[in-house]
Amino acid sequence: MLLLAFSPATWADQAFCVSDKEAEAARRVLQAQREIRHFCEPCGDTEPKTEVIATVRIVHDCGTEVHVNGEGIDLAYVYVLENGEWVNLALKLSIANVDGVSRVLAK
C-alpha cells in the first residue's frame, strides 16, 4: 500500500485548480506566448509536446482553472519560453506545493 503513495497518479493535478490570483497571473503570461510545451516529468514523459496558443481563458468550474485552446491545463506541467529557456509556469509563478518538476526543460 505504501507504494501507491509514490505512484505517478499522486503527481496528477498539482496546479490544475489554482487561486483566482494565480490563474490571472498565468493568463497574462500565456497571452504573451505563441506556444507552450507540455511535459509531465513525474508521469514519465520523455519528450515535451508543443502546443500553439490560440486562446487563453480562465474558467470557474470546480475551482479556478486556466484553459488553453479550450482545454484545462495543469500549470505544473506547462513550460513557457523566457530568455531562450523553457521555464516551468507553476514554478515561475511561485505556486505552492508543486513538486517533482524541473524549473527549466533540458535542451
- pLDDT (tens digit per residue) in 50-77: 999 999 999 998 789 999 999 999 999 9
Domain count, the chain: 1
Domain range for residue 87? 14-92
Residue 103 domain-assigned (yes or no): no
The letter for the amino acid at 35 is E
Residues of the chain falling short of pLDDT 70: 1-12, 107
In a domain, 9, yes or no: no
Residue that is written with C-alpha cell 517533482 in the block: 100
The DSSP letter of residue 34 is S
| Residue 73 in domain | yes
State residue 85's pLDDT score: 97
Cβ 87 vs Cβ 102: under 8 Å: no
Residue 99: alpha-carbon gap to chain centroid: 12
How buried is residue 27: exposed, middle or buried, by Cβ count under 10 Å (0-12/13-18/19+)? Answer: middle
Interacting residues of 46 by C-beta distance below 8 A, sequence separation 6+ = none
- The pTM (predicted TM-score) of the whole model is 0.87
Tell me if 100 sits within 8 A of 45, measured CB to CB.
no
